[in-house]
A = this chain, B = another copy of it.
Amino acid sequence: MANVLTVSLDAMGGDGGPDMVIAGVEEALLRHPEVRFLLYGDQARMAPALDRHPRVRQASQVRHCEVSVGMDDKPSQALRRGRRVSSMWRAIEAVRDGEAAAVVSAGNTGALMAMSKFVLDTIPGISRPAIAAIWPTLRSESIVLDVGATIGADAEQLIDYAIMGEAMARCLFGIERPTVGLLNIGVEEVKGLEQIKEAGRLLRASSLPIEYYGFVEGNDIGNGSVDVVVTEGFNGNIALKTAEGTARQIATYLRQAMERSLITRIGFFLAQSAFRVLKEKMDPRARNGGLFLGLNGIVVKSHGGTDALGFASAVDLAIEMAVSGLIDKIGADLAAKRRLQEIESAADAASAIHD
């Protein structure tokens, strides 16, 4: 498979299992007919779906695994049972061994993160990877990280999130200088948590090539005030799920309101093309996939409850990130940050001598 972009897939992850994954690959092949796939999972369970999707069979290599990680397994349990043998583990290994440029799984998030750290290791200088989500906004889309890989982050880690998110924004949106904001509870410099204020001061003072915007608040995410919103994982997860809940709530209100009378139902019928547009904008399947950032390889977590369309967009994301060389960009940026810190501390030391 030399010179051909290959994506490895944990075919057993997600509520829909191999049927959903393989139907998703069929979708992804429509947009990326040149890409090849490694399908890790139970051969017997994959066979019927592969019979229904001969194009997928042709574009894929099946690699049989006896073990698969359960959706409710604890990460420690998954590591004990699934190490070296599970479909998830082996799909990640394909990235480490250079057989695949990225891996996608709709399986258990905690297990996927634990195994990814184990197999791929973190990029030098990164202690804790983050999960980045793509958030639809009034302007277009933004990246929000961390949405739940880790609880808590100090100033240094927030800056690493900023660097990684900024690199991802360049790859994903094709813009040269994405803007970066720190999520806080007020836009004034004096407000908020100490580590966020510290990260803000460092980003403002630093010579890093980052377009630092300042603090943003919860409502700025949906507004699209910045391209990259940086936050610690607990908060990021609460924000993401609160937004999902609010969107579902309004959709339900709208549905109920439209069923009130014959006239509103006729109105709804006439306006259905508008509702279709709205539905597409809000469709969580259009941008399904959290990207794990900070690892020596591209790992995309698809939503566990998604369908073939949703899984295909997770595969799209994996392909886009691989093609645009995300990992190299992040590596270069983090190396530049370290050099800058060395130069700055050397300058400080020199000025201390001369003082």
B residues in contact with A152, CB < 8 Å: 193
Bound CA span A136–B275, Å: 23
* Copies of this chain, tallied across the complex: 2
Q: Which residue of B lies closest to A271 (CB)?
A: B267
Among B148, B185, B263, B266, the residue within 8 A (CB) of A238 is: B185
The answer to whether B264 and A246 touch across the interface, beta carbons within 8 angstroms, is no
A33-41, A115-123, A217-225, A285-293: which lies at the B interface? Answer: A217-225
A84-92, A276-284, A295-303, A335-343: which lies at the B interface? Answer: A276-284
Closest CB of chain B to A122's CB: distance in Å?
21
Q: A218-B241, A261-B273 are in contact. Are A185 and B249 (CB under 8 A)?
A: no
The answer to whether A222 and B234 touch across the interface, beta carbons within 8 angstroms, is no
Q: Which residue of B lies closest to A266 (CB)?
A: B270
B residues in contact with A278, CB < 8 Å: 250, 253-254, 257
- CB-contacts of A237-259 with B (<8 A): 237-250, 252-254, 257-258
Bound CA span A270–B266, Å: 7
B residues in contact with A185, CB < 8 Å: 148, 151, 233-234, 237-238, 241
B residues in contact with A273, CB < 8 Å: 260-261, 263-264
Interface residues on A, range: 35 or more
Q: A264-B274, A273-B263 are in contact. Are A250 and B248 (CB under 8 A)?
A: no
Q: Which of A219, A237, A239, A271 neighbours the largest number of chain B CB atoms within 10 Å of its CB?
A: A271
Chain B CB within 8 A of A43 CB: no
Among B221, B253, B267, B270, the residue within 8 A (CB) of A281 is: B253
Contact with B along A167-208 (1 / 0, CB 8 A): 000000000000000010100001011000000000000000
The answer to whether B235 and A222 touch across the interface, beta carbons within 8 angstroms, is no
The answer to whether B246 and A247 touch across the interface, beta carbons within 8 angstroms, is yes
Closest CB of chain B to A82's CB: distance in Å?
19
Contact with B along A64-84 (1 / 0, CB 8 A): 000000000010000000000
Chain B CB within 8 A of A272 CB: yes
The answer to whether B275 and A246 touch across the interface, beta carbons within 8 angstroms, is no
Bound CA span A238–B233, Å: 13
Bound CA span A180–B185, Å: 24
The answer to whether B219 and A248 touch across the interface, beta carbons within 8 angstroms, is yes
Q: Which residue of B lies closest to A196 (CB)?
A: B234
Bound CA span A161–B264, Å: 43
Closest CB of chain B to A204's CB: distance in Å?
21
Chain B CB within 8 A of A213 CB: no
Q: Which residue of B lies closest to A185 (CB)?
A: B237
Bound CA span A248–B274, Å: 17
Closest CB of chain B to A108's CB: distance in Å?
12
Among B190, B241, B271, the residue within 8 A (CB) of A219 is: B241
B residues in contact with A244, CB < 8 Å: 218-219
The answer to whether A218 and B247 touch across the interface, beta carbons within 8 angstroms, is no
The answer to whether B221 and A138 touch across the interface, beta carbons within 8 angstroms, is no
Given contact pairs A222-B246, A246-B250, A253-B282, a sample of 13 additional A-B residue pairs in the complex whose CB atoms are under 8 Å apart = A193-B234, A218-B244, A221-B245, A222-B242, A222-B249, A223-B245, A223-B249, A254-B278, A257-B274, A263-B270, A264-B274, A267-B267, A271-B271
Q: Which 3 A-B pairs have the closest CB atoms?
A: A267-B271, A218-B241, A267-B270
